Structure 1
Amino acid sequence: MCLIAFGWKVLTDTPLVLAANRDEFYRRPTAAAGFWQEHPAMLAGRDLEAGGTWMGVTRSGRFAAVTNFRDPAQTARAARSRGELAVNFLTGETTPEDYLRPLAAAGDDYAGFNLLVGTVEELWYYSNRLGDEPARPLPPGIYGLSNERLDTPWPKLLRARSRLAALIDAGTLDHDALQAAVADRSLAPEHALHPSEHGARMDRRLSAQFIVTPDYGTRATTTLSMQRAGNGAETTIAWRETRFDHSGQPAGRTDYRFRAALSPGGRG
């Protein structure tokens, strides 16, 4: 399970603002977010088991995030890791549209996924579990993504989206406030769960925004903003990753702040 709440172009000077939880088994080895030695322009955490990432940005303003699509009917191990989807976009130069187009033909190579890819100018969404629905650009708005389709009204997603909207309205976009928007550890009432949560036979403990169980839980929270200055000619990226141990206590934090060196036209 994962949770991403993000505002896309709802503020003139902030194309993207985001708060996200990465939930994973504690036994799965992970490296903290940093710039990769083999890809020095890419900032991302690293899954040390399969080699990919769940979220990252680059010094040219590219962004990508992937979540699992929970589908009990399709649990067979896939040929390729979903984490490579984010890495391949971040380390490439194609537009989001051109990157996503061939994935429709290769979707069966991966287990179910939701994928966000973009630059400071455009943000696209695609899932390989939505039949023939094509990749699509997102209009300005406040969105939530977990382990079903974009904006599926799971209680924790609705809370995150509402809290992010309140922060945006108040102009409170610092890392601490953003992190709090996805930090709720309370469980959703059984009657409030969405039909897809019942259909996926989810453990009710997974209905919390921030998950703590003995073997599985929220391993990290990432907060991110892309802010423009200088008549839009400069974009500053602010990133924070806060990591947690198996008891849900903070176990480390990494902060980065840098100017994106945008390519001509600002396409990243």
Structure 2
Amino acid sequence: MCLIAWNWQPASHTPLLLIANRDEYYARPTAPLHCWDDADILAGRDLQAGGTWLGISRSGRLAALTNHRNPAALRADAPSRGELVSAYLQTDASALDYLMELAGRAGDYNPFNLLVFDGTRLLGLESRHAKVTAMQPGLGAVSNADFLTPWPKLANIKGGLQTLQGQEPPSDAQLLALLQNPSVAADADLPDTGIPLEFERALSAAFIALPDYGTRACSIVRFEADHITFLEQSFDAHGATGTRQLTTAWRRVPSLRTENRPPPVS
């Protein structure tokens, strides 16, 4: 996953709206959004390593992961980061307990950012700093740097979400249009992450379409009062390959309406 944005409104009818793009090599085998046979998970699946980049559980959990872009820090022998998403979706631990435990061994993996929701709290872990952060109500976003780092694509998608807040609620078509924006940033605004300028420029778009690498999935997840809706549009090197939508019942946690106090952070 390379781009995640959300609107976290704990006291509203839609406490969490999350949109995301997964960017990956087209050659990496992938299953689209489905109900897993071997776990209570609704997600796409990386068929090479077995994990996922974004998923929900029927119990009302969500996890989403981005890689931290730093070619110099990559280790070929590190375990797949996608297993962290599926592991969270299967645990009974709170979001805070899971991330606090994971922070102590985050260095076992290549650098990542992990966003988790347990029905009550929305938290993030930056593995490079072993830092757990409580997300405040409102708009947020993360790409391939630390949470809320103001890369151009983050500023654009947060601005787009802000504009759509006047729409109650934003439509799937409007949200997909944000995710499928191919505009690249000006060179002067690009981050320097250790990759060639031409590649840095191409990756500055929300939607990427290179010959062998690009946006493989655009996703919209809505947590509402009594259900969760997960929509995914899939892509390959030739364009869109289909759209899937799954809905599952969800019992809203009562404290979600009133609890705005953030948990401890490390």
TM-score (norm 1): 0.89
Counterpart selection for 1:250 from 240, 255, 260 = 240
Do the aligned partners of 1:58 and 1:260 also contact (CA within 8 Å) in 2?
no
Q: Is 1:144 the counterpart of 2:141 in the alignment?
A: yes
Structure 1 gaps of 5+ residues are 229-234
C-alpha RMSD of matched pairs (Å): 1.9
Task: Name the SS of the counterpart of 2:45 in structure 1.
Answer: strand
Return the alpha-carbon distance in structure 2 between the equivalents of residues 87 and 10 of structure 1: 24
Question: After TM superposition, which residue ranges in structure 1, 4 or more long, deviate above 3 angstroms?
Answer: 261-266
Deviation at 1:180, TM superposition (A): 1.1
Task: Name the SS of the counterpart of 1:163 in structure 2.
Answer: helix
Structure 2 gaps of 5+ residues are 257-266
Do the aligned partners of 1:6 and 1:143 also contact (CA within 8 Å) in 2?
yes
Task: Provide, for residues 229-253 of structure 1, a one-character-per-residue CA deviation record: whole Å limited to 9, x for no partner.
Answer: xxxxxx2111100001213x21111
1:52 partner amino acid: G
Superposed counterparts of 1:1-268, under 5 Å: 2-9=2-9, 12-39=12-39, 41-130=40-129, 134-193=131-190, 197-201=191-195, 203=199, 204-228=201-225, 235-247=226-238, 249-261=239-251
Q: How many residues align?
A: 254
Deviation at 1:11, TM superposition (A): 6.3
Task: Provide, for residues 3-61 of structure 1, a one-character-per-residue CA deviation record: whole Å limited to 9, x for no partner.
Answer: 1111111761111111111000001000011110011x310110000100000011111
Return the alpha-carbon distance in structure 2 between the equivalents of residues 262 and 160 of structure 1: 27
1:183 partner amino acid: Q
Task: Provide, for residues 215-240 of structure 1, a one-character-per-residue CA deviation record: whole Å limited to 9, x for no partner.
Answer: 10000100111111xxxxxx211110
Do the aligned partners of 1:78 and 1:109 also contact (CA within 8 Å) in 2?
no
2:137 partner amino acid: P
Identity of aligned residues (%): 40
1:108 partner amino acid: G
1:170 partner amino acid: Q
TM-score (norm 2): 0.90
Do the aligned partners of 1:184 and 1:210 also contact (CA within 8 Å) in 2?
yes
Deviation at 1:69, TM superposition (A): 0.6
Change (3 A) 1:10 1:154: farther
